[in-house]
């Protein structure tokens, strides 16, 4: 699904990301961890063509993202609140992003049905604009916005941050179900090692812009990751 | 304490996106200042010697008599154009800075404004002339002080007007009432203005009145903002807003562009800043009335009026494309839409605004059919050429507009500023030039026809031009995204 080759991003002298090779096959649930400044958001921004690479390319489904916009048809992403439109109600926002992917209004309504639990009755039918929702509820809107249109690739930057414990648990369940039932590819970053090892079947650790670990998730992974981050100076 | 706040301001200017263009604009504006200084100084000379020698009147009472107009005009212009000083308040609230100082700083910063300083260019030379012409020293000083206090009072009043709609209504109705009384000759304010402004000259003690007025207006706005310095004060919206214009089914005919159109309409209906742009556009409809005065009867000015009257909304809204969407630009850039459709919806919007303004402006027919012809031709030109031009210059305008922000007490709510006005000059000069060629070659009518032809040509070539604009937007994409990340500038 995603093929990265000799990708780097420099700001002046400072290299913030430097990846020789990274292939993410279709259907994988890919987890990205790393301390602040490790380059997680930079990597996602490069994949989404929101910033320009200094060298190298990102291919999404064989298409170079900075050259061709076709990747947008099968990719949905939620990185931060800049992916929300504050003056819309959540419903209007869903109709908007769904509509851009050719979903009719009823189709969007139907697609929202499975997420009622996840919203916990705090998002839909509230007569509130997104800008007036709490940070956590805004996040729910953003996450569901990427899921409802059934794109094969979903990119979520720190989806667990800002969510209440109940919702974190529900989100984990949701992501696991989506991944196994629909065969979607997920790219998820998180600071929560427990959550990310629970959800993802592959974990990549970034440190100072480089990939330092890359492995399939097993029962030992969480312990190893904890040990790794404890040793960091 | 103030030093630290000034330091913050300094940093926020130099670390903002697009400092280079900002600096260039500042330099341009600097030249404008020099020019204005000359103009106003000249005006001061004219106001003295012109009135004395040509009209044979005593300049000081005559000028004092006219001051009331100047101040009323000042209040109106200030309301529409003067930008509120931006102090990004929220991060300061929890720091050990007394709230009073934050407010004081904001208010004092509001004094360093074009609208205050430009007065000095007139009143200082005028006062100096008065002194040289043997007017009483103490009289002139106390006259100066009174005028200065009134100017400062209008400044603070304006700060208040910007945040209190009720007060705005009161002031607007008082002004309209006075205007009406004057117009129907029931009451002459100038007769009233002269003795009032002359009083401090004759008796310096009277200068205390404007001083007290100024202090009161300062106190008032000071206390107002001090009360508002909470994150949940009514400076911010009430949480449960009424839903308006939700479905907008009638737009579905536009196909995929309709999704954007719907959003844009919601943007306008639900955000104060965007609404302001519409009101500005509406106000421009009456812009031509100012030019009914004889000074501007030149034919070229008719084109100027035509462009502005028909294109008010086009300019006031269009100049901030794509800044209106700055808050969620990354979303737009990752959605399954080509730039073209996004731009097209904006294009439709400004074109629709222009089309609506044409019948609305038909009242100009009562004055002069030629003016209305200029407006119609201006409308054609606006649709054909300027609609593209504003989109194009939008690609380079990288100031984010924070629609969601209700965090600053001294919010920058203005959707109109002097800098962006500068950017629109080429859009206006060009048609005036074309018209001039037409006049040289044949006649005024020829000039209008030429402008119309250029407009129609632009319209016919719109697909080509769109492709070009799209390319520019794509080239600017990464820079724009980076600039929009900086919210607090």
Residues of B whose CB is below 8 A from A86: 327-328, 403-404
- Residue ranges, chain A, pLDDT below 70: none
pLDDT per residue as tens digits for the range B344-378: 889 999 999 899 999 988 888 887 788 888 899 99
pLDDT on residue B376: 92
Q: Which residue has the higher pLDDT, B121 or B398?
A: B121
Domain limit, last residue, from B228, B263, B290: B228
DSSP secondary structure code for residue A69 in this structure:
G
pLDDT on residue B239: 45
Residues B334 and B191 in one domain: no
Asked if residue B234 belongs to a domain, the reply is no
Q: Which residue has the higher pLDDT, A84 or B28?
A: A84
Query: Quick check: ipTM above 0.90?
Result: no
Residues B188 and B259 in one domain: no
Domain limit, last residue, from B176, B194, B228: B228
Kindly report which listed range (B38-42, B168-172, B390-394, B476-480) carries the lowest average pLDDT score: B168-172
Mean residue pLDDT across chain B: 78
Asked if residue B240 belongs to a domain, the reply is no
Residues B139 and B269 in one domain: no
Distant-in-sequence, close-in-space partners of A167: CB < 8 Å, separation ≥ 6: A118, A120, A136, A140
Confidence of residue B232 (pLDDT cuts 50, 70, 90): low
Residues B171 and B41 in one domain: yes
- The answer to whether A83 faces chain B, any CB pair under 8 Å, is yes
Residues B26 and B112 in one domain: yes
- Give the nearest partner residue to B270 out of A48, A76, A87, using CB atoms: A87
pLDDT on residue B457: 92
- The answer to whether A132 faces chain B, any CB pair under 8 Å, is yes
pLDDT at B13 over 60: yes
Residues B322 and B428 in one domain: yes
Asked if residue B285 belongs to a domain, the reply is yes
Please check whether residue B454 is in contact with residue B385, taking contact to mean a CB–CB distance below 8 angstroms.
Answer: yes
pLDDT per residue as tens digits for the range A145-185: 999 888 899 999 999 988 999 999 999 999 998 888 888 99
Asked if residue B357 belongs to a domain, the reply is yes
pLDDT at B38 over 80: yes
Asked if residue B471 belongs to a domain, the reply is yes
Residues B156 and B22 in one domain: yes
Distance from CA of B324 to the nearest CA of A (A): 11
Return the residue of A nearest to B482 by Cα.
A51
Residues B302 and B356 in one domain: yes
Confidence of residue B17 (pLDDT cuts 50, 70, 90): low
pLDDT per residue as tens digits for the range B195-213: 888 888 888 888 888 899 8
Residues B22 and B134 in one domain: yes
Q: Which residue has the higher pLDDT, B212 or B85?
A: B212
Residues B72 and B190 in one domain: yes
Tally of domains within chain B: 2
Asked if residue B223 belongs to a domain, the reply is yes
How far is residue B334 from each of residues A20, A88, B226, B273, measured CA to CA in Å? 25, 18, 42, 26
pLDDT per residue as tens digits for the range B405-458: 443 334 344 434 455 556 566 788 888 888 888 888 888 888 889 899 999 999
pLDDT on residue B412: 44
A 86-115 residues inside an 8 A Cβ radius of B: 86-89, 92, 96-97, 99-101
- DSSP letter for each residue of A12-66: TTEEEEEEEEEEE-TT-EEEEE--TTSSHHHHHHHHTTSS--SEEEEEETTEETT
Q: Which residue has the higher pLDDT, A122 or B163?
A: A122
Cα separation, B310 vs B353, in Å, equals 8
Residues of A whose CB is below 8 A from B237: 132
Mutation target vs A (from B239, B331, B337; most A CBs, 10 A cutoff): B331
Average pLDDT over residues B167-179: 78
B338 and A69 within 8 Å at the Cβ level: the answer is yes
Beta strands A14-24 and A185-189 are unpaired
Return the residue of A nearest to B256 by Cα.
A100
pLDDT on residue B248: 66
Residues B450 and B304 in one domain: yes
pLDDT on residue B84: 61
Asked if residue B245 belongs to a domain, the reply is no
Domain that holds residue B27: 2-228
Asked if residue B30 belongs to a domain, the reply is yes
pLDDT per residue as tens digits for the range B272-285: 778 877 888 888 88
What phi and psi, each to the nearest 5 degrees, are found at residue A33? -125, 165
Domains and CATH numbers, chain A: 27-51+70-231 (3.40.50.300)
Residues B211 and B322 in one domain: no
- Give the nearest partner residue to B334 out of A75, A84, A92, using CB atoms: A75
């Amino acid at each position: 699904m995603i093929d990265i080759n000799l990708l780097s991003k420099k700001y002046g002298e400072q290299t913030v990301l430097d990846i020789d090779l990274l292939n993410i096959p279709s259907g994988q649930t890919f987890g990205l961890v790393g301390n602040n400044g490790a380059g997680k958001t930079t990597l996602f921004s490069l994949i989404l063509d929101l910033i320009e690479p200094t060298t190298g390319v990102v291919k999404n489904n064989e298409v170079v993202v900075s050259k061709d916009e076709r990747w947008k048809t099968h990719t949905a992403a939620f990185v931060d609140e800049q992916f929300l439109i504050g003056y819309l109600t959540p419903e209007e926002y869903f109709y908007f992003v769904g509509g851009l992917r050719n979903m009719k209004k009823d189709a969007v309504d139907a697609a929202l049905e499975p997420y009622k639990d996840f919203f916990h009755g705090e998002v839909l039918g509230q007569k509130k604009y997104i800008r007036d929702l709490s940070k956590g509820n805004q996040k729910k809107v953003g996450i569901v916005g990427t899921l409802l249109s059934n794109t094969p690739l979903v990119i979520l930057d720190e989806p667990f941050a800002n969510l209440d414990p109940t919702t974190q648990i529900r989100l984990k369940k949701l992501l696991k179900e989506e991944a196994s039932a629909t065969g979607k590819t997920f790219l998820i970053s998180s600071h929560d090692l427990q959550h990310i090892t629970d959800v993802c079947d592959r974990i990549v650790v970034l440190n100072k812009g480089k990939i330092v670990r890359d492995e399939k998730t097993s029962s030992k992974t969480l312990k190893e990751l904890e040990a790794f981050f404890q040793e960091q100076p | 304490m103030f030093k630290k706040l000034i330091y913050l301001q300094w940093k926020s200017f130099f670390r903002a996106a697009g400092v280079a263009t900002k600096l260039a604009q500042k330099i341009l504006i600097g030249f404008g200042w020099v020019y204005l200084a000359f103009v106003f100084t000249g005006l001061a000379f004219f106001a003295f010697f012109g009135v004395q020698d040509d009209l044979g009147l005593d300049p000081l009472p005559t000028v004092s008599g006219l001051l009331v107009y100047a101040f009323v005009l000042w209040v109106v212009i200030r309301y529409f154009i003067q930008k509120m000083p931006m102090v990004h308040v929220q991060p300061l609230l929890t720091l050990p800075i007394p709230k009073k100082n934050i407010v004081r700083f904001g208010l004092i910063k509001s004094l360093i404004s074009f609208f205050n300083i430009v007065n000095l260019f007139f009143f200082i030379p005028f006062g100096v002339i008065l002194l040289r012409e043997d007017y009483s020293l103490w009289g002139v000083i106390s006259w100066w002080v009174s005028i200065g206090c009134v100017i400062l009072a209008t400044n603070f009043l304006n700060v208040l007007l910007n945040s209190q709609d009720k007060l705005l209504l009161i002031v607007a109705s008082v002004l309209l009432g006075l205007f009406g009384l004057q117009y129907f000759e029931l009451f002459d304010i100038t007769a009233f203005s002269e003795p009032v402004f002359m009083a401090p000259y004759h008796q310096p003690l009277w200068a205390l009145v404007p001083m007290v007025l100024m202090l009161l207006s300062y106190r008032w706005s000071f206390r107002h903002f001090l009360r508002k310095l909470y994150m949940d004060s009514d400076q911010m919206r009430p949480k449960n807003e009424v839903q308006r214009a939700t479905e907008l089914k009638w737009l579905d005919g536009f196909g995929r562009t309709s999704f954007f159109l719907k959003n844009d309409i919601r943007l306008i209906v639900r955000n104060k800043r965007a609404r302001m742009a519409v009101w500005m556009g509406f106000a421009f409809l009456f812009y031509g009335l100012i030019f009914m005065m004889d000074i501007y009867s030149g034919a070229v000015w008719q084109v100027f009026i035509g462009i502005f009257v028909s294109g008010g909304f086009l300019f006031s809204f269009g100049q901030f494309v794509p800044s209106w969407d700055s808050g969620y630009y990354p979303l737009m850039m990752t959605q399954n839409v080509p730039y073209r459709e996004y731009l097209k919806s904006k294009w439709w919007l400004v074109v629709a605004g222009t089309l609506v303004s044409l019948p609305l402006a038909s009242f100009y027919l009562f004055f002069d059919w030629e003016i209305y012809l200029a407006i119609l031709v201006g409308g054609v030109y606006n649709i054909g050429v300027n609609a593209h031009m504003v989109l194009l210059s939008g690609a380079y305008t990288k100031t984010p507009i924070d629609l969601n922000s209700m965090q600053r007490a001294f919010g920058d709510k203005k959707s109109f500023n002097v800098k962006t006005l500068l950017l629109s000059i080429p859009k206006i000069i060009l048609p005036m030039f074309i018209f001039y060629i037409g006049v040289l070659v044949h006649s005024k009518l020829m000039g209008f026809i030429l402008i119309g032809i250029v407009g129609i040509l632009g319209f016919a070539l719109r697909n080509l031009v769109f492709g070009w604009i799209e390319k520019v937007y794509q080239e600017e994409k990464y820079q724009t995204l980076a600039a929009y990340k900086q919210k607090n500038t």
